[in-house]
Structure 1
Amino acid sequence: MLQTPTLRALGPEDLTDLLVLIRRDPLVNLFVRSRVDATRLNQRWLGGQVLGYFEDGALVSACHAGANIVPVEATERAVEAFAERLLHATSRPSSIVGPQAPVLHLWDRVAPSWGPARSPRLDQPFLTMSADSAIEPDPRVRRILLDEIDTLYPASVAMFTEEVGVDPEAGGGGYRARVAQLVAQGWSFGIIEDGSVLFKAEIGAVSPEACQLQGVYVRPDRRGQGIAAGALAAVVEQARRSIAPVVTLFVNDHNLPARRAYERVGFEQTATFASVLL
């Protein structure tokens, strides 16, 4: 006899089943894998929940529900169930991010209550790279050091403000702490010349299979000079050697200069994401 589908928050006892689900597409599901590995589904550290959608007692879909809403292998019926639960939550997230189809479906369901979106980004090529670049890596790219955080931080704020459209410092000291955390982990790379950041990029999420590139920035007065491609090639090489074998990222469809740089480096589109910033 078929069981009624159920939805509930996952706990440590569900870890094995959730990892099986995530491994159906380990690159696309990288962010949630990184959160699961870091917290082991302990809500004290998760800063939210991971919702699980079950059919006939089996976990078929999941959804990270914290500051970021991120669906995992979400079927249409699962998205409907996630939306219903999220609409009854007492807090609102800052974004919905993930594979295009479930994100658009979820946004369609919650938009009447949560909308309008501050920045809907509904077509974002998801790019991957599993080999070093054919172009020469810029030898100036290296890991940022802890005593260089004061130099790095203004560039990080400028990048975030330009990309996301809000001042990351408005919410207190959390953003600086995150920048420092990435540096301490060895996930922040850059070119620093004469006390100024010429280029920087970070790894924001890591799993055994892959890592996710974010925060790519070239100082405004040096843009259009071909710096990004060689610098990115160096980041890919160093990240693949010391962090994870595949480098991923997603980029706004309309950001043609960035897309050209990624293509030149050797990234290939393997999926399509969407992000709704609230």
Structure 2
Amino acid sequence: MLTKTTTRVLEPGDLDAALEVLDRDPVANAFVASRIRTAGLDPWRLGGELWGWYASGRLESLCYAGANLVPICATAEAVRAFADRARRSGRSCSSIVGPAEATAELWAHLEPAWGPAREVRAHQPLMVTRSMPEGIAPDPLVRRVRRNEMDAIMPACVAMFTEEVGVSPMTGDGGLLYQARIAELVTTGRAFARIEDGRVVFKAEIGAVTDHACQIQGVWVAPDRRGEGLSETGMAAVLQYALREVAPVVSLYVNDYNAPARAAYRRVGFSEVGSFMSVLF
């Protein structure tokens, strides 16, 4: 038994203990919990390692180390331990993202070795809703994207990602991993869009799913169609699917400087319950 504070890479036999930690905050932890419930703790299937921090033999905090570095229920002592391990491993992630306080502490420890970052988004409101909005009817033309519509949805996904992150997802491996992820969302019925004459004018995906909560991502309206209310009616349509078929709580996080998006989400019934932070490399 572990009798002192320590960190280690979790193994498949640690799954129940890891899920217990993740379930302490099912909304904030939806992204990692979704991956682990699908892939387990095998690093090859998970796409990364899950680090555990133990105190007196009990698993208290986690950190997902894959394409993103994500602190989970991380105390200050756990953050220091995760930062030490990350420094020894070297940076292979494209971002650090998670609850703002722990992520800020993690970045403070890592910045001397990993900095400078390409961009730091220190406050990204975490928003949730548990019900359909009043006074906003779901757009009846927003529907699940079909498997034969990848050629239509991909340009919109690339445009959204580039606008949001600041770099194209088609760089590096030519976009193979990104295209595979979008194909997975389409195949599992979690990609939604309004398509007019073969062109996407609104889209969003349900990117993370657990029994407790799901997370909407990739919300995008074609630039020439903004200001028409498509984001609100479109989000209402996606919410209808999510609340009816996926989970009782729907969440998302948004950049604090994106005032139009925050206002639109509030009109659709989302309220701010916390804050995320992202460090982009």
In the alignment, is residue 26 of structure 1 matched against residue 35 of structure 2? no
Partner of 1:130: 130
> How do 1:231-270 and structure 2 match up within 5 A?
231-270=234-273
The answer to whether the 8 Å contact 2:91/2:114 transfers is: no
Residue 44 of structure 1 and its aligned partner are, at CA, apart by 2.0
Q: How does 1:197-276 map to 2 (within 5 A)?
A: 197-276=200-279
Answer whether contact 1:136 1:230 (CA < 8 A) is retained: yes
2: CA distance, partners of 1:52 / 1:175: 28
Question: 1:158 and 2:133 equivalent?
Answer: no
Size of the aligned set, in residue pairs, is: 277
Structure 1 residues 154-193: aligned runs within 5 Å = 154-171=155-172, 172=174, 173-193=176-196
SS at match of 1:276: strand
In 2, Cα distance between equivalents of 1:124 and 1:154: 26
The secondary structure found in structure 2 opposite 1:186 is coil
- Alpha-carbon offset, residue 210 of structure 1: 1.0
Preserved CA contact (<8 Å) 1:133 1:237: no
SS for the counterpart of 2:89 is coil
Give how far 1:208 is off: 0.7
Supply the distance in 1 between the matched residues of 2:255 and 2:140 (Cα, whole angstroms): 28
Give, in whole Å, the separation in 2 of the partners of 1:44 and 1:3: 29
Shift of 1:3: 3.3
The secondary structure found in structure 1 opposite 2:71 is strand
Structure 1 stretch displaced more, 228-237 or 76-85: 228-237
Match of 2:68 in 1: 68
CA contact (8 A) 2:161 2:218 kept: yes
Deviation digits for residues 49-102 of structure 1 (CA, Å, limit 9, x no counterpart): 100000000001010011111111000000000000000114421111110000
- What SS is found at the alignment partner of 2:204? strand
SS of 2:216's equivalent? strand
Alignment partners' CA distance in 2, 1:233 and 1:204:
16
Is the CA contact (8 Å cut-off) linking 2:50 and 2:64 kept in structure 1?
Answer: yes
- Compute the displacement of 1:231 (Å): 0.8
Give the distance between the partners of 1:109 and 1:116, measured in 2 at CA: 13
Show structure 1 runs of 5+ residues with no match.
Answer: none
Q: Which runs of 4+ in 1 moved over 3 A?
A: none
CA distance in 1, matches of 2:37, 2:144: 24
- CA RMSD across the alignment: 1.1
Identity of aligned residues (%): 51
Most deviating of 53-62 and 16-25 = 16-25
Distance in 1, Cα, partners of 2:33 & 2:100: 18
Aligned amino acid, residue 144 of structure 2: R
Contact 2:150–2:183 at 8 Å: present in 1 too? Answer: yes
Contact 2:126 2:274 in 1 (8 A): yes
- After superposition, the C-alpha distances for 1:230-261 in whole angstroms (9 at most, x for unaligned) are 11011101111122221110000000010010
Are the equivalent residues in 2 in contact too, given 1:133–1:236 (CA < 8 A)? Answer: no
1:217-241 deviation per Cα after TM superposition (whole angstroms, max 9, x unaligned)? 0000011121111110111011111
TM-score, normalising length: structure 1: 0.97
Give the SS at the match of 2:171.
helix
Alignment partners' CA distance in 1, 2:196 and 2:232: 18
Between 1:239-248 and 1:183-192, the stretch displaced more is: 239-248
Q: CA deviation at 1:4?
A: 2.4
**Unaligned stretches of 5+ residues in structure 2:** none
